[in-house]
Amino acid sequence: MRLPLLRVCSRSRATFTAAPLKLKRLSDNANACHFTHSAGLRAQTCKALVYSKHGDPAQVVQLEDVDLPPIGAQDVLVKMLAAPINPSDINMIQGTYAILPDLPAVGGNEGVAEVIEVGSQVNSLKTGDWVIPKDAGLGTWRTEAVLSEDDVISLPNNIPLLSAATLGVNPCTAFRMLSDFEDLKPGDTVIQNAANSGVGQAVIQIAAARGVNTINVIRDRPEFTHLSDRLKAIGATHVIKEEALRRPEIKELFKTCPKPKLALNGVGGKSATELLRHLQIGGSMVTYGGMAKQPVTVPVSALIFKDVKVRGFWVTQWKRDHTSDEGAFKAMLDELCSLIKQGKLSAPICTKVSLQDYSKALEAATMPFTSAKQVLIM
Ligand SMILES: NC(=O)c1ccc[n+]([C@@H]2O[C@H](COP(=O)([O-])OP(=O)(O)OC[C@H]3O[C@@H](n4cnc5c(N)ncnc54)[C@H](OP(=O)(O)O)[C@@H]3O)[C@@H](O)[C@H]2O)c1
């Protein structure tokens, strides 16, 4: 994966030739080029949120002028429309994520863009199409980009902008976790923590569309009732506080729905252990996030007497494993877009922030208890 091949920063006017995104802990085929550069037709510049060293995003990210390479025969010029700030984007900038680009790099892994020009040999895309990245590492916090047509996948351009901008990571993660680990039937139950997160809200809605109950665990807060009502309005069966998981009254809840076959853990630490305690015999817990930055402890009894399966999931790996089977990704996006059009899947609550106000957005994205996704509007 590669950042723009030729980038000129307005402040220093230094010229960089970006190297392929380096994988620090993974060695696979992830060095595929995202930005192609063919012999020059014309140069353009765009604005981009660039970081040249790892650290606190509010300190190291800056808005800069960046040169765009000419549009090659198999490239498209896109105008970014909207791009969220996800925890993984923050972790990449901090230098703590599993994949890290060579620096300097443009931030952002997700977002929706409109095709505004196509190269002479582009077959799959046309002007006006909406596209999202196929893989992580594209650097979406920018106003325009020249991309290979193979690096993006199209979406219908008649779905809400915020749904499109936030579709490629969290709803796909929710969709896969609800599909690939347990054979969930209508009436079954899933339990999850961080239920108000982007992933959590997608889990609630996709599960509800399939007739699957959800027990949604969130941290206590002054506006718990308001948040609980909001999650119930999008299809949550039950919403409970972390503490309630440890109380005997939880047994009452299991009179209204079966014990969960599947637990989804985006937090880690004690919260994950509590999810495990309520799983059905033979059920699975899938860890996809570690917001509490604490390891997952599995009680010996859960393994011996309940034979629980403890698994992990990373949507980036799923996408890379399916690069030669684009149909699988397309089929998932089609199903998700169909849910969006039926009103069964909405974007998480978002705060729209203009690209110029990125400092505010980056700061807000690292704040706890906000229950809102920061989305940069270009
Ligand atoms: N493995 C994958 O493929 C994959 C894909 C997508 C996302 N993820 C991961 O999933 C997690 C959620 O991502 P997102 O975009 O859905 O997040 P998000 O919308 O930004 O929401 C963050 C969530 O984390 C909770 N949280 C923050 N700090 C916490 C703490 N110390 N203890 C417990 N909960 C805490 C927040 O709850 P409060 O409201 O209580 O603060 C909120 O529910 C992240 O770790 C992300 O990297 C993984």
Predicted pLDDT of residue 328: 96
Lowest-pLDDT choice from 122-126, 172-176, 247-251: 247-251
Q: Per-residue pLDDT for 284 more than 60?
A: yes
Question: Atom 11, ligand 1: which residue's CA is nearest?
Answer: 289
User: Residue 313 phi/psi, 5° resolution?
Assistant: -145, 140
> Does the CA dihedral 281-282-286-291 come out positive or negative?
positive
Question: Atom 26, ligand 1: which residue's CA is nearest?
Answer: 291
**How many Å apart are CA 246 and CA 278, to the nearest integer?**
10
Share above pLDDT 90 across residues of the chain, in percent, rounded to a whole number: 86
**Please, where are the H alpha helices in 101-219?**
161-165, 170-180, 198-209
Predicted pLDDT of residue 249: 86
Predicted pLDDT of residue 241: 97
Q: Which of 197, 221, 270 to mutate to test the pocket of ligand 1 (most atoms within 8 A of CB)?
A: 197
Minimal CA–CA distance to 199: which of 315, 361, 363, 338? 315
Interval between CA 50 and ligand 1 midpoint (Å): 24
**How many Å apart are CA 114 and CA 118, to the nearest integer?**
11
* DSSP code of residue 246: G
Same fold, 2-166+347-377 and 170-316: no
Architecture of domain 170-316: 3-Layer(aba) Sandwich (3.40)
Q: Per-residue pLDDT for 299 more than 50?
A: yes
Residue 368 C-alpha from the chain's centroid: 18
For range 136-162, the mean pLDDT: 97
For range 339-354, the mean pLDDT: 98
Q: Under CATH, to which class is 2-166+347-377 assigned?
A: alpha beta
Predicted pLDDT of residue 207: 98
DSSP line for 260-281: PSEEEESSBHHHHHHHHHTPPT
Question: Atom 44, ligand 1: which residue's CA is nearest?
Answer: 289
**What are 113-140's pLDDT values in tens digits?**
999 999 999 999 999 999 999 999 999 9
Predicted pLDDT of residue 182: 98
User: Residue 150 phi/psi, 5° resolution?
Assistant: -75, -10
Question: Atom 8, ligand 1: which residue's CA is nearest?
Answer: 289
**How many Å apart are CA 93 and CA 225, to the nearest integer?**
34
Task: Identify the residues whose C-beta falls under 6 Å from ligand 1.
Answer: 86-88, 169-170, 173, 194, 196-199, 218-219, 266-267, 288-292, 313-315, 348, 368-369, 371, 373
Q: Per-residue pLDDT for 156 more than 90?
A: yes
Q: Per-residue pLDDT for 369 more than 70?
A: yes
For range 259-283, the mean pLDDT: 97
> Where are the chain's structural domains?
2-166+347-377, 170-316
Tell me the residue type at 116.
Answer: I
Interval between CA 197 and ligand 1 midpoint (Å): 5
Interval between CA 87 and ligand 1 midpoint (Å): 7
The pTM assigned to this predicted structure is: 0.91
**What are 85-115's pLDDT values in tens digits?**
999 999 999 999 999 999 999 999 999 999 9
**How many Å apart are CA 35 and CA 93, to the nearest integer?**
20
For range 203-225, the mean pLDDT: 98
Interval between CA 194 and ligand 1 midpoint (Å): 6
Interval between CA 198 and ligand 1 midpoint (Å): 7
Q: Per-residue pLDDT for 287 more than 50?
A: yes
Per the CB < 8 A criterion, the answer to whether 51 and 76 are in contact is: no
Q: Is 288 a catalytic residue?
A: no
* From 51, 97, 288, 358, active-site residue: 97
Interval between CA 273 and ligand 1 midpoint (Å): 17
Q: Which atom of ligand 1 is nearest to the CA of 288?
A: 1
Question: Atom 7, ligand 1: which residue's CA is nearest?
Answer: 170
**What are 303-325's pLDDT values in tens digits?**
999 999 999 999 999 999 999 88
Question: Atom 38, ligand 1: which residue's CA is nearest?
Answer: 369
**How many Å apart are CA 194 and CA 1, to the nearest integer?**
31
